[in-house]
Structure 1
Amino acid sequence: MIRLFHVSDIHFGAEDSAALAWFADCVHREQPDAVIVTGDVTMRARAREFAAAGAWLSGLGCPVTVEVGNHDLPYFNPLARAFRPYARHDRLARMIDRPLAIAGIHIVPLRTTARFQWRLNWSKGRVSQEQLSRALARIESAPAGATILVVAHHPLMEMGTQGTARTRGGAAALTALATAGAQAVLTGHVHDAFDVAYPVLHRTVRLIGAGTLSERVRDSRPSFNALRIDSGQLDVSVREMA
């Protein structure tokens, strides 16, 4: 059996120190096979926030893959956002967009952030053809029978949560990913957990969202998802901090 911890929206700069300590304790006690972080590791993409996030994630002591969230792009500097949006990610470079293969489980990154968009709210999601093609190529390279988990920051479809993603290209991307063989898509952004079996053509894909470990809670307490995968069967439980 493979065990994965799925956490999101840590927001260093607005982090919940008690929630971070609780999560780290869970990791150290239970030793999951990997930790998946679906974006927004910082609040304002400041260098000190990335440094703190990198140190904390490195201290977990297990494989970590990180997706970039909208808060991880420069907030106050439009030139940096346009030309060097990921320059401050050095401490996380080896974790960002990191595919993982663990005993037949293939974790495939899909970036859904954009430096700019033709709409006012740039925090919402977007799946470009370039990023989708990269994810599909990684799925195609996985061996037959592998369990494919796609990880992204923004939900590809709206899940009825208080927060919204409004991901452009999300529906088409989900169809392409499901057709290619993805069993589940793990996301964050909305700060509340969900787990929905979503019909796509002749298949069903699990859409799984994680809560937050920051002070920016919405409908639920700080939480993360614990995934267990055994013989291709995926079980998800939400762990909320007491």
Structure 2
Amino acid sequence: MSCLLQVSDPHFGTEQPEVLQALERLAHALAPQAVLLSGDITQRATRRQFAAARAFAERLTAPVVAIPGNHDIPLFQLAARVFSPYGRYTEAFGADLEPVFACDDWLVVTVNTTRWYRHEDGEVSPAQVERVAARLAQASPRQVRVVVTHQPVLVTRPEDRQNRLHGRAAAVARWTAAGADLIVGGHIHLPFVRPLDERFPGCPPTAWAVQAGTAVSTRVRWDAPNSVNVLRAEASGDGAQRVCVVERWDHSAADKAFTRVDLLRLPLASRATAP
């Protein structure tokens, strides 16, 4: 069963070496098709922090599919923020701020939801919505279609409402109509899985929001330790039977390792080809 590893909000500059080493061991053991690095890679977008993050990515055995988060734009250096907001990010992770990853089982389409003029919250433009939808429509019946944003389209707690993605309603409607199975994100350091139709009426009940916690940072919430998500694809060859298994792996200080603490089997829409 092929898998993806979602690593979000590592906030290099606040990383915990023991947790980082445990995550590297997990990544090597899983041998995922790709590692999804869903933003807030650094704490303050310094070159030193990006260099540490790049070194981490190079130690993994899988392709890294990365997008920036709001912390990956310089905050206190106004000239850099306005005139070269992604300069340091691109030095470390390349000029493509919205990479696409595809293999037999997965189609991953990423969205840069950060803006230099927004401090924390993000947005998605109509052009981005259409670009993602067009790429989703090209997926094979077998592929699990994953959209990656930094800021969430859905939250579960009132205190997180201000962190929701601007433009989310139009984006979710368009992307799920184009076949998105999962919209995965980070930003709020709270892992959960919810059906999108819980907040967006009209969405298919087989489309899901998947959120990850902070992978290695000290910036954990009181009730959510360092954690990552593992996504596993199950599908018949023609796409008639499709399931995505979402596993939550939390770091255990006692075990000095990431351990699986939850597993959900998410039914996905049939994408069977016509005979």
* Range class of TM-score, shorter chain: over 0.9
Aligned twin of 2:264: none
Spell out, residue by residue over 1:147-179, the C-alpha distance to the aligned partner (whole angstroms, 9 max, x if none).
210001010122327545232111221111111
Aligned twin of 2:147: 150
Spell out, residue by residue over 1:105-160, the C-alpha distance to the aligned partner (whole angstroms, 9 max, x if none).
1000012111114xxxx201211223222212221332345321000101012232
Deviation at 1:26?
A: 0.5
Q: Which runs of 5+ in 1 are unaligned?
A: none
Aligned length: 238
Q: In the alignment, residue 41 of structure 1 is paired with which amino acid?
A: I
Alignment of 1:190-201 (within 5 A): 190-199=188-197, 200=200, 201=202
Aligned twin of 1:228: 232
Judging changes above 3 Å, is the alpha-carbon distance between structure 1 residues 228 and 174 closer, same or farther for their aligned structure 2 residues? same
Alignment of 1:133-212 (within 5 A): 133-160=130-157, 163-164=160-161, 165-199=163-197, 200=200, 201-204=202-205, 205-212=207-214
TM-score normalised by the chain length of structure 2: 0.82
Spell out, residue by residue over 1:184-217, the C-alpha distance to the aligned partner (whole angstroms, 9 max, x if none).
1010001110101121415122100011120000
Aligned twin of 1:100: 101
Deviation at 1:98?
A: 2.0
Measured in 1, the distance between the counterparts of 2:43 and 2:82 equals: 18
The 3-state SS of whatever aligns with 2:188 is coil
**RMSD after superposition:** 1.7
- Segment of structure 1 superposing worse, 46-55 or 142-151: 142-151
Aligned twin of 2:35: 35
Aligned twin of 2:24: 24
Measured in 1, the distance between the counterparts of 2:213 and 2:96 equals: 20
Aligned twin of 1:216: 219
User: Relative contact order: is structure 1 or structure 2 higher (C-alpha 8 Å, sep ≥ 6)?
Assistant: 1
Deviation at 1:30?
A: 2.2
- Are the counterparts in 2 of residues 10 and 42 from structure 1 also a CA contact under 8 Å? yes
The 3-state SS of whatever aligns with 1:208 is strand
- Are the counterparts in 1 of residues 43 and 72 from structure 2 also a CA contact under 8 Å? yes
Measured in 1, the distance between the counterparts of 2:134 and 2:81 equals: 28
- Are the counterparts in 2 of residues 65 and 95 from structure 1 also a CA contact under 8 Å? no
Q: In the alignment, residue 222 of structure 1 is paired with which amino acid?
A: N
Measured in 2, the distance between the counterparts of 1:190 and 1:178 equals: 23
Judging changes above 3 Å, is the alpha-carbon distance between structure 1 residues 115 and 195 closer, same or farther for their aligned structure 2 residues? same
Judging changes above 3 Å, is the alpha-carbon distance between structure 1 residues 94 and 31 closer, same or farther for their aligned structure 2 residues? farther
Aligned twin of 1:66: 66
TM-score normalised by the chain length of structure 1: 0.92
Judging changes above 3 Å, is the alpha-carbon distance between structure 1 residues 240 and 110 closer, same or farther for their aligned structure 2 residues? same
Deviation at 1:17?
A: 1.6
Judging changes above 3 Å, is the alpha-carbon distance between structure 1 residues 56 and 176 closer, same or farther for their aligned structure 2 residues? same
Measured in 2, the distance between the counterparts of 1:68 and 1:124 equals: 13
Aligned twin of 1:128: 125
Measured in 2, the distance between the counterparts of 1:207 and 1:91 equals: 29
- Are the counterparts in 2 of residues 221 and 240 from structure 1 also a CA contact under 8 Å? yes
Larger CA Rg, structure 1 vs 2: 2
The 3-state SS of whatever aligns with 2:196 is strand
Aligned twin of 1:45: 45
- Are the counterparts in 1 of residues 173 and 203 from structure 2 also a CA contact under 8 Å? no
